[in-house]
């Protein structure tokens, strides 16, 4: 019983310490570099979502280029 308690205590400690490392890193990456978003609707057709409302596309939105104002003609811009 004592071994089980020690194992579970170590497991919980490892989980909590990993949680406090992974969450800030993930939030920083999503906020500063890029994130994944679903795209749907008629406004993005025919480039994205060509089948219509029945399907949605998933895209990686690059936040780094926008931060440095490197948007060029032909780029797709997403507004929230």
Q: Which one, of 54, 52, 74, lies nearest residue 65 by Cα?
A: 74
> Is the pLDDT score of 72 beyond 70?
yes
CA distance 76 to 66: 11
Q: What is the pLDDT of residue 3?
A: 59
> Is the pLDDT score of 24 beyond 80?
yes
pTM, entire model? 0.50
* Cα Rg of the chain, angstroms: 21
């Amino acid at each position: 019983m004592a071994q089980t308690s020690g194992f579970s205590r170590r497991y919980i400690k490892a989980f909590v310490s990993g949680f406090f490392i992974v969450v800030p890193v993930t939030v920083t990456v999503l906020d500063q570099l890029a994130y994944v978003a679903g795209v749907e609707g008629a406004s993005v057709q025919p480039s994205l979502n060509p089948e219509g409302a029945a399907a949605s596309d998933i895209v990686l939105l690059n936040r780094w280029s926008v931060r440095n104002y490197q948007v060029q003609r032909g780029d797709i811009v997403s507004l929230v």
